[in-house]
Amino acid sequence: MKFLIDFFPILLFFGAYKTTDIYTATAVLMAATVLQTVLIYKMDGKLQAMHKITLVLVLGFGALTLGLHDERFIKWKPTLLYTGLAVALGVAHVFLKKNFLLMLLGQQLELPRQVWHRMNISWMLYCLFMAAINGYVAAYYSTEDWVNFKLWGYAFPLIFIVGQGLYVARHLPKDGSSS
């Protein structure tokens, strides 16, 4: 159920775009993201920082897209989001000597410090890659191509997350004891 909640805003956006235009699709995305946020809050009793940031960016860039009638704003929202995540992970890691992934998931996963370090670096690089590829498609391709990329581009996070899962699985304690 939660998996469907995560993806329904982009699916509704895609469907609205294919049947109408980018502006209607943007309004649908905004409404779907609000609904998604409410559902997640009702299910979990709280929102993760990522949910809050996504909501603010979708509503902010969506409002700019609709208010200024300029599709570039909604197209650049993912680039800003991914860049912000990469910068936050990097600043926390280098300057604050904190690992946000460890802070978020450390109670759920027992892993050696060097694994957390590698995961943090890989998430930073992944976010930079996603920011760059979205920025490239947004800048050099049509809106139609960008919307198709947004839908089919979900292969990137799925592949990355499966890869992270396989990497983490190798480092989990075998007998429930600490590594």
Domain that holds residue 30: 1-68
Q: Which of 37, 68, 99 is the last residue of a domain?
A: 68
End-to-end CA distance of the chain: 33
What's residue 157's pLDDT? 87
User: Which residue did the predictor score with more confidence, 15 or 99?
Assistant: 15
Asked if 79 and 140 sit in the same domain, the reply is yes
Are the C-beta atoms of residues 155 and 161 closer than 8 Å to each other? no
What's residue 179's pLDDT? 44
Are the C-beta atoms of residues 13 and 32 closer than 8 Å to each other? yes
- pLDDT category at 118 given cuts 50, 70, 90 is very high
Nearest to 148 by CA among 157, 138, 161, 158: 138
Predicted TM-score (pTM) of the model is: 0.84
What's residue 1's pLDDT? 66
Report pLDDT digits (tens) over 18-68: 999 999 999 999 999 999 999 999 999 998 888 898 999 999 999 999 999
Asked if 11 and 85 sit in the same domain, the reply is no
Asked if 11 and 98 sit in the same domain, the reply is no
What's residue 175's pLDDT? 62
Cα-based angle 160, 57, 101 (whole degrees, multiple of 5): 40
- Average pLDDT of the chain to the nearest whole number: 90
User: Which residue did the predictor score with more confidence, 48 or 136?
Assistant: 136
Asked if 92 and 51 sit in the same domain, the reply is no
Taking residues 80-93, what's their average pLDDT? 93
Structural domain count of the chain: 2
